[in-house]
Structure 1
Amino acid sequence: MKKPFTVAALSLSLSLSLSCSALAAPDAPTPARSAQQNKMVSCNAEAAGKKGEERKAFMKQCLSAAPVTKATAQQEKMKTCNADAAGKKGDERKAFMKTCLSAK
């Protein structure tokens, strides 16, 4: 008598735990996903409300687009200092770049 009850209780708790994990936010990007999977999730969220050919065209464009990267302040400083160092060579350029890049 106790065995069927135990088996039923165990299977019920197992099915509940599986269904609860399936309800967790599947659209949130995670480190375990590849970059392409994360891109798919974000494009899919942006395509909300679009249907048919419009959605298909949007998804194609969104998934094929290169990721937009914002240059950091250090990268911008490097570009500026590099442009200002035009014409300088050797030790003169090295000294200029050192002072330019370390300046605030």
Structure 2
Amino acid sequence: MKKLIIAFGLALSFTAPAFAFSQAECEAKAVSKDGKPIYGAAKEASIKKCLGDAKPNDCEAKAVSKDGKPLYGAAKAASIKKCKGEK
């Protein structure tokens, strides 16, 4: 059943790219190059990209440490507050 959903999502992505996809269609479209479903953060990123919600100037996306790792807790809140104040 899962393969059928994935196949349907891929077929739909090639036949109707002009309209926005729904959550279920984007989940079905989240597959790797070899056709296997992806999981975790990669799946979430793929779904976000499919839905068009990825914003390059998003303050939460900018809340990362010097090492490039995401911030948590008070550090993340302070970073987001500073980012929103600069806009």
Tell me if both proteins adopt one fold, taking TM over 0.5 as the criterion: no
TM-score, normalised to structure 2, is: 0.34
More helix by share: 1
TM-score, normalised to structure 1, is: 0.30
The structure whose RCO (Cα within 8 Å, separation 6+) is larger is 2
Query: Which structure is larger by alpha-carbon Rg, 1 or 2?
Result: 1
